[in-house]
Amino acid sequence: MKILVLGGDGYLGWPTALHLSRLGHDVGIVDNFARRQYDHEMGVDSLVPIAPLHQRARRWQELSGQSLAIFPVDLTDAARVHAVVGEFEPETIVHFGEQRSAPYSMIDRSHAVYTQVNNVVGTLNLLYAIADVDPSIHLVKLGTMGEYGTPNIDIEEGFIEITHRGRTDVLPFPKQPGSFYHLSKVHDSHNIQFACRIWGLRSTDLNQGVVYGQETEETALHPDLATRFDYDAVFGTVLNRFAVQAVAGIPLTVYGEGGQTRGMLDIRDTLACIELAIDNPAERGEYRVFNQFTESFSVNQLAEMVAALRPGAEIVHLDPPRVESGSHYYRAAHTKLLDLGLVPHLLSDGLLESVMLVADKHRDRIDPGAMQPTVDWRRTSNTVGDARDPVAEPA
C-alpha cells in the first residue's frame, strides 16, 4: 500500500513511518520541521539525541533496503498539500502533522492562534485535497482523549445514544476540552465528520491517550533511527518528567492534588493501533472513532510508581498551572481496537523500568530548569523560552 505519514519527523510519526515501511508499504513523509523549531523557541531539546530527517532516512534505507519519500511541506499551504497528495497517490494518509502541546497553546494569544490555524487549517486543506484527488483515500487521524475532558459519566468511543423527550438518537459525545490545543482537535473532529458526510470521505479518528516509551523494534536498530524523548514542562509528558526527575535526584512535581486521571499507552501500541486501523479501513462516507489507550492512572499513581523504583525519591505538590479538577471520575470505553486484535503492552507489567533506563542513559543531557511549569492557564500572557511569536518554517 502507498501510505503518506504527515508529521513523519515527529515523536510518533517517525517510528510509525519506519514500522509501516518494514511491513512492506511504500511510505512518504510530509513534515515542515516545526517540531524542531519549537525546541529552539523553548530553549530545550529531546533527552535522546535525534538525527536530521534526511540522515534518518538514509540510515533506514541502508539497514532495510526500503526508501522513504520526503516532502518538506507545511499543511497550511493548500497548493502544496494538494500537489503532494496528487503526486504520491496514497491509499492511506496517517495524520500526525499538528502542534500537539496543550501548554504551548496556552502561552499567549499568538501561540493559541498559531495552534488553531496550524492544526485546523492544515486539516481542512488536507480534506479538500483528498476530496479533489481521490475520495477513496482512508484518513487515519490522530485525535486525543483530551477532546472529551473529564465528564462525570462514562466516556464512550466517539458517540453516545441519547433519549430526550421521548426521542432517541446517536450523537457525537459531548466535548469539554481543556486547552486551545485540545479545542483544535475538537474542531478537526467536527470538520472530518462533516467532510465524510457530505463528500463521502472515509476516516478513522484515533483519540489517543498519553504515550510513553521511546524505543520500537525499528528505532532500536541504530542511534540515527531514534525518536524523541520530551520531558520539559511544555512538551514533555508527565511520566517522562517524573522519570527524569527521579534519575536526576529532583523532587517529582505533582500539580495540585494529583487525582487527575489519564489514559496511557506504550509507543509500540500506538504503532499497532495505526496498523490495525489501516488494515481494517473505514467504509466510504464513514467517520468512526477509536479510543486509543490501554490503561488509566492518576498523576499520583504515576508518581508513586516512579518513586518506588528510586528509593528516597521525593514527591512534592505544586500549585496547579491548569484549570481542572484536582480529582475526578474517569472511566472511558476502549474496546474497538481490542476487538480488532490489539494485544497491549502494559505499564503495570513492568514497562516503567524501560522509561527509567532511557532517562538514566542520557542523564548528562538533563536540564533541571526545563521541568518547572512556566505556563499558567489563568494568564493570557506567559513568558517561556525566548518569548517570540511561534514560527513554523520549512527547513
pLDDT for residue 394 is more than 90: no
User: Domains of the chain: which residue ranges?
Assistant: 2-371
pLDDT for residue 391 is more than 90: no
Task: Summarize pLDDT for 167-178 with one digit per residue, the tens.
Answer: 999 999 999 999
**What is the pTM (predicted TM-score) of this model?**
0.96
CATH tag, 2-371: 3.40.50.720
Per-residue pLDDT at 393: 41
Task: Summarize pLDDT for 79-114 with one digit per residue, the tens.
Answer: 999 999 999 999 999 999 999 999 999 999 999 999
Confidence tier at 388 by pLDDT (50, 70, 90):
low
Per-residue pLDDT at 389: 66
Per-residue pLDDT at 395: 34
Q: Choose, from 185, 231, 237, 255, the residue flagged as catalytic.
A: 185
Per-residue pLDDT at 215: 95
**Strand, coil or helix: what is 107?**
coil
Can 38 be counted among the known catalytic residues? no
Burial of residue 359 (CB within 10 Å: 0-12, 13-18, 19+) is buried
Give me the residues paired with residue 172 across strands: 159
Can 181 be counted among the known catalytic residues? yes
What is the residue-averaged pLDDT of the chain? 96
pLDDT for residue 226 is more than 70: yes
Per-residue pLDDT at 351: 84
Task: Summarize pLDDT for 188-197 with one digit per residue, the tens.
Answer: 999 999 999 9
Q: Choose, from 11, 114, 148, 181, the residue flagged as catalytic.
A: 181
Confidence tier at 349 by pLDDT (50, 70, 90):
confident
Q: Higher-confidence residue: 386 or 343?
A: 343
Give the list of residues 6+ apart from residue 374 with CB closer than 8 angstroms, or none: 233, 234, 382, 383, 384
Confidence tier at 128 by pLDDT (50, 70, 90):
very high
Average pLDDT over residues 366-390: 88
Q: Choose, from 16, 92, 123, 144, the residue flagged as catalytic.
A: 144
Confidence tier at 386 by pLDDT (50, 70, 90):
low
Phi, psi angle pair for 339, to nearest 5°? -65, -30
Per-residue pLDDT at 296: 96
Angle at 205 between CA 199 and CA 208, to 5 degrees: 165
Task: Summarize pLDDT for 234-279 with one digit per residue, the tens.
Answer: 999 999 999 999 999 999 999 999 999 999 999 999 999 999 999 9
Can 336 be counted among the known catalytic residues? no
Closest CA to 111 of 169, 38, 162: 38
pLDDT for residue 152 is more than 60: yes
Average pLDDT over residues 216-220: 97
Percent of the chain whose predicted confidence (pLDDT) is above 90? 95
Side-chain-side CA neighbours of 19 within 13 Å: the count stands at 23
What are the CA-CA distances from residue 208 to residues 99, 108, 149, 203, 292 (Å)?
15, 26, 13, 15, 4
pLDDT for residue 2 is more than 70: yes
